[in-house]
Structure 1
Amino acid sequence: MATTKAPEDAYTAEPFVPGKAGALAELREAAAGCRGCPLHRAATQTVFGAGAQDARVMLVGEQPGDQEDRQGRPFVGPAGKLLDRALAEVGIDPGEAYVTNAVKHFKFTQAEPRKRRIHKQPTLRETTACGPWLAAELALVEPELIVVLGATAGKALLGSSFRVTQARGTVLEREIHGRPERLVPTVHPSSVLRADDREAAYRGLISDLRVAADALE
Structure 2
Amino acid sequence: MYQLFSEYGNGFLAPETARNFDIGVEQAFLGNRARVGVTYFNRRTRNQIDFRDCSPTELETPNSICANRPFGVYDNVARAEADGVEFALALRPVDALTLTANYSYIDTENRSIGDNFGNDLARRPKQTASVDADYRFAFGLSVGGTVTMVGDSFDDAANTTRLDGYALAGVRAELPIGERFAVYGRVDNLTDTRYETIAGYGNYGRAAYGGVRLRLK
Please state which structure has a larger fraction of its residues in strand.
2
Please state which structure has a larger fraction of its residues in helix.
1
Q: Between Structure 1 and Structure 2, whose CA radius of gyration is higher?
A: 2
- Between 1 and 2, higher relative CO (CA 8 Å, sep ≥ 6) is seen in 1
TM-score bracket for the superposition, by shorter chain length: under 0.3
